Amino acid sequence: MEIVRDENMVAQKYISRPLLIDGCKFDLRIYAYVTSLNPLRIYLFDDGIVRFASSSYSDNLDSLSNQYIHLTNYSINKNASLNQGSTNIGLKWSLRQLWNYLAEKGWDVPKVMERIVDLVIKTFIWQVSSLRKFTALLWCFELVDLIFIVLESGFCEPPMSQFVVKFTSLPSICHELFGFDVILDSDLKPWLVEVNISPSMQCNSPVDYTVKEPLITDVLNLSGIQVPPPNAFKSARKSILQVSLYENLDCRFLDFRIKPRFHLLGDKDKIKSSLFLEKYLRTAVEVDPSILSDLTPSDLRVLIDTEDELDRRGRFQRVFPAPLSSKYLRYCDPPRYYNLLLDEWTRRFSEDRESGIFIE
């Protein structure tokens, strides 16, 4: 293979023993929705797409040039001719169909799903800002048998959070749907192939419609997009290049008062944030439970926004923060106060949200 030195490339270990169904290789498209970066909130949709290669798998070196054996892209395999040895399983399944198939075969499906959740969370918070940090984090990934990944353009939580602060006025307007491509090996261990931003919502098969129609609905509901009042559209036409476009809008209609606004943090917010970050850095083990005492105005905005969002999740499952996600906080560098706040909130009230809502 010829390597072009002035182009970005990705180096990955080839999974030579993938799990096969009817003799064919396949991969999973997992949909992850990040609704907020600070605090970090990650959701996984309960369904996805399983894409099959159209020819029986072979690890023979002579087969490497056969894309119908080694590639699972639907855009490639839909053009496979009949003499390519296509099987009767089709080119696409839903993720739910795969889970049912594996369960019938006696595989531990909940364990596989748990590993995929672990993979997704660590991918979002992983950063390679220096060789020292890279070395420290690499061993953590090897523990769960993740492959070495080079994420182009610094795809990681800290830089994205910095860009949100720099280029947006409100943290709540920055969100993204991601498509995780995952391969299961013969031991059902998940391996990350790549992460796609703005994954295609095009539907060219019944499976696509089954999965993507409810996905789109739940993404729009979960995003919490607020429709501006009619007079805002007139103002937009006249002031499209003006920074102060929204200054004259009715804030009560947009309800910005209960949205997190980190650029307006008061002294009380800043003091409390510094105090609990310092406490956490000293221990790096657990969050001080008293973080939920004497909540600041900014704390309340974040908690209200988080609870309101959770009620709109539809078929999404929030995987971070979650009752057992505290172990991932130590991977966040630097740690963020609102991640600590939501971690303690979720740990304490995930089983009784009403008690949390009426906390004094």
Closest CA to 191 of 307, 19, 312: 19
The per-residue pLDDT for range 218-274, each reduced to its tens digit, is: 999 999 876 655 665 566 555 544 544 444 544 444 455 556 666 567 889 999 999
pTM, rounded to two decimals: 0.81
Domains of the chain are 20-223 (3.30.470.20), 265-311+323-357 (no CATH)
158-192: pLDDT as tens digits: 566 666 666 666 666 778 999 999 999 999 999 99
pLDDT tens figures, 23-62 = 999 999 999 999 988 889 999 999 999 999 988 888 888 8
Q: How many CA atoms lie within 13 A of 349 on its CB side?
A: 18
